[in-house]
Amino acid sequence: MTRSMGYTQSEGLTALRQWVVELQRRVHNPPAMGDPTHPANKDIIITSGSADALCKVLESVLSPGDNVLIENPTFPGPFKVLRPLDCNMIPVNADADGMNPENLRRALSRWSPEDAKNPTSDIPKLLYCVPTCGNPTGSCLTLTRKQEIYKLAQEYDLMILEDDPYYYLQFTEPLVPSFLSLDVDGRVMRLDSFSKVIAPGLRLGFLTGPCPMVQKILYKVMQSTSHPSGISQIFVTSVLKQWGHDGFIARSSELRRLYEDKCQQCLVYLDKHLTGLAEWTKPTGGMFIWIKILGIKDSSDVVAKVYQKGVVFITGSVFHIDSSAPSPFIRLSYILATCKEINKALSILAECLKEEV
């Protein structure tokens, strides 16, 4: 505790980093990790939450005017970084199984793989996605799709930014292998978070990626946040040492079962109240359900109306690159509400939708 109250290493406390390194070995087993002679060798640093790491990666990799491929719809966090950077966001449409590789190839069709070798080309440098239990859709990329996307990244020399805070919340086991586990080239930057398995207020996450890129981001840490919170690191290190790696994985399995039960209960109430009024896809993990309201072009008025009655949904336009365009979707999160509250909330939504019709 005395040590945590002073300045600590920018890359994170040694004990916590060592614990995380072993976790990544066990869960993802990145190719060539620990081999300093291999271009796919990885380094890991502790970050002030995965959102801070996301910001630092984007600022380190991109320049004003760069083209960036972004899963659509997706978590709006990168929009807030890319717009001030004046980067051009190119949507890659997703479906119930996550980002579609054919849509990615279509988005890349204006360039050729040879353009990646031309420093004056505007070919995208980076692909951003939330591959597991996506926010807002709840979809998970299959291993087959990940392999196809990775091959396209090799073909067009793309870096993949794998923003994966919900990885341990997949409802099925074994867990789908990550992009990191496929990375033989050193082109994957992976973001993990302690927010979803311990507590978001800790503001701790960890970044895994090719050594040169991680070192570059570490320089930004040194002159910005300086280092992650020492007190949070001491707390998390103590908890993780007590659990051990097997205990951490067991704890994650408990959370998955808890969230899956909650999701199933929510789906029952969706069938009860919204059949004929909306469509939705059963999530394969995580915290969210993506709902399409039938018969309307824009969900904003409906979201505002139910908010006046004490219910909060997020309008779908927030999760699209063009947030000004109308969207018939809303995002629901079933984690914090009780079953009684979910039932009531969806009945209120149904009443408002019937009034709209």
In order along its 357 residues, the chain shows pLDDT tens digits of 777 788 888 999 999 999 999 999 999 999 988 888 888 899 999 999 999 999 999 999 999 999 999 999 999 999 999 999 999 999 999 988 899 999 999 999 999 999 999 999 999 999 999 999 999 999 999 999 999 999 999 999 999 999 999 999 999 889 999 999 999 999 999 999 999 999 999 999 999 999 999 999 999 999 998 899 999 999 999 999 999 999 999 999 999 999 999 999 999 999 999 999 999 989 999 999 999 999 999 999 999 999 999 999 999 999 999 989 999 999 999 999 999 999 999 999 999 999 876
Residue 228: partners with Cβ closer than 8 Å, 6 or more residues away: 12, 46, 47, 48, 203, 204
270-274-279 Cα angle (round to 5)? 85
Show me where the domains of the chain are located: 3-241, 258-356
> Exposure of 95 by Cβ count < 10 A (0-12 exposed, 13-18 middle, 19+ buried)?
exposed
> pTM, whole model, 2 decimals?
0.94
Q: What are phi and psi of 192, to 5 degrees?
A: -120, 160
CATH fold of 3-241 reads Aspartate Aminotransferase; domain 2 (3.40.640)
The CATH class given to the 258-356 domain equals alpha beta
Q: What is the pLDDT of residue 357?
A: 61
Task: Report helix angle 14-27 to 230-274, nearest 10.
Answer: 40
